[in-house]
Amino acid sequence: MSARRKVTVVGAGNVGATCAQVLATRDYADIVLVDIKEGLPQGKALDINQMGAVLGYEPSCTGSNTYEETAGSDVVVITAGLPRSPGMSRDDLVQTNEKIVGSVTEQVVAQSPDAILIIVSNPLDAMCHVAKSVSGRPKERVFGMAGILDTARFSTFISWETSASVKDVQAMVLGGHGDQMVPVVSATTVGGIALRKLVADEKIQAMVERTAKGGGELVNLMGTSAWYAPGAAAAQMVDSIMLDEKRVLPCTAYLEGEYGIDGLYMGVPCKLGPGGIEEIVELDLSDDEREALDKSAEAVREVVGVLSS
């Protein structure tokens, strides 16, 4: 028996497999990769284990088509669901993925009643509502990965525009995942200097636009959704929880009055630790940013309204 703790990733597609791969290289937990497709999670797990011989981590990845192997997981990352194809709206995805995410959540919680659930399946904000409702878990233990990915895209564009290391870019993207996201330009710095002092407003606006359409840009280029950055972003959340890092990261959290929004999953800065979301950080937003966040909340409510329950 392994004495290491356990992380389960459901969905051995590109995002799930990348998340499992990044977590395996971190070398602190056993990873279980679950998928309904026979042979797929077993094959990817075997490949990740064999990569350990090259990169020097201890192989500990198991592939499975059932949920018994996942029993006693500390954290479960749910990436299962159909990806968005070109020309398909996020709303089209809602009803299909609601069934998939609901069923996965039920099976996961039956095996690991104490696990923290991180939702990656799209449409993200709506799927968090599904997982929370099906699992009956408290809100601080069911949340979604979107803001880290959007922030990573924004930070990348800022790094290119300013010719500065991406390590010195501090950015934060709030709101719904998709066209309604709200990059908080007022809280964005490069090496501690406000972004507005370094880059002209129209250039910032162009980067904001590109970030908002970031997922679509990749779908148009590849014919499918991104996976390297989303997989790594989900793994970063797992790290902060499992290693008690207390990172403040933008996560899709259930709000009950914070930022003036009630009863809705939205992207906000959260302190992540072993308890899941240990604190929701309320930034001082400019009037424009607050207005954009309210608009984002309306858009998310519409998508959530498509849910059957």
CATH of the domain at 265: 3.90.110.10
Examine residue 309 and state whether it is found in any structural domain, yes or no: no
Is the model's pLDDT at 309 over the cut of 70?
A: no
Among residues 6, 129, 132, 177, the one annotated as catalytic is 177
**Alpha carbon 68 to chain centroid distance?**
25
Is the model's pLDDT at 222 over the cut of 80?
A: yes
Report residue 95 as tokens: 């009803």
DSSP per residue, 154-218 = HHHHHHHHHT--GGGEE--EEESSSTTEEE-GGG-EETTEEHHHHS-HHHHHHHHHHHHTHHHHH
**The pLDDT value given to residue 83:** 74
| pTM more than 0.85 | yes
* Domain's final residue, options 116, 144, 172: 144
**The pLDDT value given to residue 62:** 98
Is the model's pLDDT at 134 over the cut of 90?
A: yes
Answer whether the bond into residue 269 is a cis peptide, omega within 30°. no
Examine residue 59 and state whether it is found in any structural domain, yes or no: yes
With CA atoms as reference, report the closest residue to 82 among 67, 65, 101, 109: 101
Q: pLDDT higher for 306 or 9? A: 9
| Domain interval for residue 264 | 147-304
**The pLDDT value given to residue 92:** 74
Examine residue 224 and state whether it is found in any structural domain, yes or no: yes
**The pLDDT value given to residue 2:** 59
Known active-site residue 177: yes
Residues 208-232: b if buried by 16+ CB within 10 A, e if exposed = beebbbbbeebbeeeeebbbebbbb
Using 50, 70 and 90 to split pLDDT, how confident is the model at 225? confident
Report residue 198 as tokens: 């370094």
Domain identity same for 91 and 196: no
Domain identity same for 27 and 61: yes
Domain identity same for 87 and 225: no
Examine residue 151 and state whether it is found in any structural domain, yes or no: yes
Examine residue 56 and state whether it is found in any structural domain, yes or no: yes
Q: Count the domains in the chain.
A: 2
Residue 252 CA to residue 140 CA, distance in Å, equals 11
| Per-residue pLDDT tens digits for 79-106 | 999 876 677 776 778 988 999 999 999 9
**The pLDDT value given to residue 90:** 67
Contact 229, 149 (CB under 8 A): yes
Domain identity same for 56 and 133: yes
Residue 271 CA to residue 280 CA, distance in Å, equals 6
Residue with tokens 């162009």: 206
* Domain's final residue, options 119, 144, 169: 144
| Per-residue pLDDT tens digits for 170-218 | 999 999 987 889 999 999 999 999 999 999 999 999 999 999 999 999 9
Domain identity same for 127 and 165: no
**The pLDDT value given to residue 1:** 54
Domain identity same for 104 and 228: no
Domain identity same for 156 and 38: no
